[in-house]
Amino acid sequence: MPKSPADVGTNRDVLAIPAFRRLTLAWIFSNFGDSALYLTAAIWVKQLTGSDALAGLVFAALGLPALFAPLTGQLADRFRRKPVVIINNLAAAVVVLALLAVQSTDQLWLIYLVIFVYANTAYVTAAAQSGLLRDMLADRLLAPANGMLSSIDQGLRIISPLIGAGMLALWGMNSVVLLTFACFAVAGGVLATLKIRESMHELDADESFWSSTTAGFRFLAAHAMLRPALLTLVIAVGATGVLNVTIFATNEQGLGMPPEFLSVLISCQGVMSVVGGLTASMVIRRLAIRRTMILGVSLLAAAVLASGVPSLPVVLAATVLLGIGVPWAIIAFVTLRQQETPARMQGRTSAATNMMINVPQVGASMIAAALIGVVDYRILIVAMCGVCVMGILPLLLGRAVRAHAAA
């Protein structure tokens, strides 16, 4: 952890590292292919079947691999990470080619299987890349690196789904599949040129499979700084799962807008998420990690509450706060986790974090979907805002406990 906020580097500093520039180039290609495919696949299933439920199962297939994240994290910690990310990208390229065999609803199962396997590769990349960044960069450069990669991810999520949908309409799904294949293949080729000296890491030979798989969770739970920070993030980001449901009611009941207007709100949030990623290192440099997380979650709570106000300017302001606050909180935590985790456990703590964040968010969405038919959406919004505010308490109480112990 930086000794002071001023120890955090800038975006220019991290871009001066040749290895990071190559990693970023590979990240652009792989994320472009990923973002072009995931939404287009759901639209494709809708075209094939006419069913919203079957189209929604595509997103379920994308989210289900979060449950297996501890296994993918162990994979990233067991082997050298550069070969892992290269093979993983090339494997993703080969897997998506199976979608070329789908000609009718009789092969619908193949779509779900491919999406599920392909989604697992994203968790492998995230786990292995965490260790690569830790070996590649000094502590002071981790925050701007994470912010830049987050901004690229969010920016491509705005652009590439539109390109994928346009290609589907013009040339069919095979063109999207071939584009995704090419993107992952190029990413694997770029990573093959990466020059990095990896730290030596290996799993304890005497450790049982279960103990090794859960090591990431146990490390996070036992760490004095990571435990309260992760709890804050889990509570706050988990609560946003409710927002994924209430946004429809906000748009139609609160603003009186047609469903198509949702794309405006989502695009606005996406643009601000890019800004949030690019400015995260600057905020961490000024405030330090703990205060940046508190500020990010506070902005999230304000955004949630504002989303229930039946006013277009207020709701647009809420999307701005949401787009900035969430990246600040997440990037601050990821940077702290990378700094405090030894090299041999980077993959497992990364995977454990992904699981701890994603699963509660999906659960919150399911609960909100079940309640919104019988509970006014504004009540859900107020409750979610309260949960976000409570999410700050672990950071505040953790600081107070450490101060008392020091005294």
Which pLDDT value is given to residue 210?
73
Domains defined for the chain, CATH in brackets: 1-194 (1.20.1250.20), 212-407 (1.20.1250.20)
* Cα(147)–Cα(159) distance, integer angstroms: 19
Concatenated DSSP letters of 147-179 = HHHHHHHHHHHHHHHHHHHHHHHHH-HHHHHHH
Q: Kindly provide the b/e burial profile for residues 19-44, where b requires at least 16 CB atoms within 10 angstroms of the residue's own CB.
A: bbebbbbbbbbbbbbbbbbbbbbbbb
Which pLDDT value is given to residue 368?
82
Phi, psi of 372, rounded to the nearest 5 degrees: -65, -20
* Cα(224)–Cα(246) distance, integer angstroms: 35
In this predicted structure, the answer to whether residue 66 has a pLDDT above a threshold of 60 is yes
pTM of the full structure: 0.81
- Under the banding of pLDDT at 50, 70 and 90, the label for residue 404 is very low
CA 81, 221, 393, 9 torsion: positive or negative? negative
Flag the least confident range among 99-103, 149-153, 185-189, 242-246.
242-246
- Under the banding of pLDDT at 50, 70 and 90, the label for residue 407 is very low
Which pLDDT value is given to residue 185?
95
Tokens of 243: 């927002």
Tokens of 13: 């500093």
Angle between helices 346-371 and 226-249 (to 10 degrees): 30
Which pLDDT value is given to residue 400?
53
* Cα(108)–Cα(349) distance, integer angstroms: 35
pLDDT in tens, 216-273: 889 999 998 899 999 999 988 887 878 877 887 888 888 888 766 776 787 788 889 8
- Supply the mean pLDDT for the chain: 84
Q: Kindly provide the b/e burial profile for residues 118-155, where b requires at least 16 CB atoms within 10 angstroms of the residue's own CB.
A: bbbbbbbbbbbbbbbbbbbbebbbbbbbbbbbbbbbbb
In this predicted structure, the answer to whether residue 3 has a pLDDT above a threshold of 50 is no
- Under the banding of pLDDT at 50, 70 and 90, the label for residue 335 is very high
In three-state secondary structure terms, 207 is coil
Which pLDDT value is given to residue 402?
54
In this predicted structure, the answer to whether residue 389 has a pLDDT above a threshold of 80 is yes
- Are 280 and 327 in contact by the 8 Å Cβ rule? The answer is yes
**List of residues 6+ apart from 281 with CB closer than 8 A:** 8, 9, 10, 11, 143, 144, 147, 331
Tokens of 130: 């965490």
Phi, psi of 375, rounded to the nearest 5 degrees: -120, 135
Tokens of 335: 């940077």
Residue range 16-25: mean pLDDT, rounded: 92
Tell me the percentage of the chain whose pLDDT exceeds 70: 92
- Are 344 and 205 in contact by the 8 Å Cβ rule? The answer is no
